[in-house]
Amino acid sequence: MRIDDVVAVVTGGASGLGAATARAFTAAGAKVTVFDRDPAGADFADRIGAGFAQVDVTDEASVTAGFDRAGAVNVAINCAGIATAEKTLGRDGPHRLQSFARTVDINLNGTFNVARLAAARMAQGGVIINTASVAAFDGQKGQTAYAASKAGIAGLSLPMARDLARSGIRVMAIAPGIFRTPMLESLGQEVMDGLAKDVVFPARLGEPAEFAALARFIVECEYLNGTTIRLDGALRMP
């Protein structure tokens, strides 16, 4: 698929990996609609020349309304998600079921909700890219909810690709390592340097533009389907 033939939605598209992807695709000639819960995302979308829809990925009516605004999409890129840091058994007792369920609801259920509704709009075929994480394979302490939700996203790739093959829709997932996003930058340079030391090569944090570049390559490379690509500089979480 040529990038200038792309009509895409990017969830979580007003910040972090989603914003970098929306910006890169728009700059390359794609028509992009940013889906984000934060209405302030409309300003970002306007600056990069994209459309905007305030969308809650866990709500069917909200996502449907967003797709109605986006039009005849042929690419959906799921970047919306949250991170939860809570141990299975901590000093204050067991992991709260509510926080576990919320993480799974937004990260996994929300991704599936957007993917299934996107597929219904892709009359002429298309590409769905979901965002997993290296935590799906080697999650750290306190990441049970996050890792479980991201492992679910990785697990979606092959069966969903098989389901949608007859419709000409490819399904892929990207599992990023540690990326320089606003959330991570808020922790400070010292913390970021400490995280980067575990990356094999190049020994640095990933840049959101690199995630966007891989998403574009997936869209353009027709033979990529049904799998998860780690984008992590050979990082294996200790």
Catalytic machinery residues: 146
Instruction: Go through the chain and tell me how many residues it has.
Output: 238
Token pair 């992991």 is found at 95
Pairing of the two strands 75-78 and 7-11: parallel
Contact 80, 12 (CB under 8 A): yes
Is 47 within 8 Å of 1 (Cβ atoms)? no
Dihedral class, residue 55 (left if φ above 0, else alpha if ψ from -120 to 50, else beta): beta
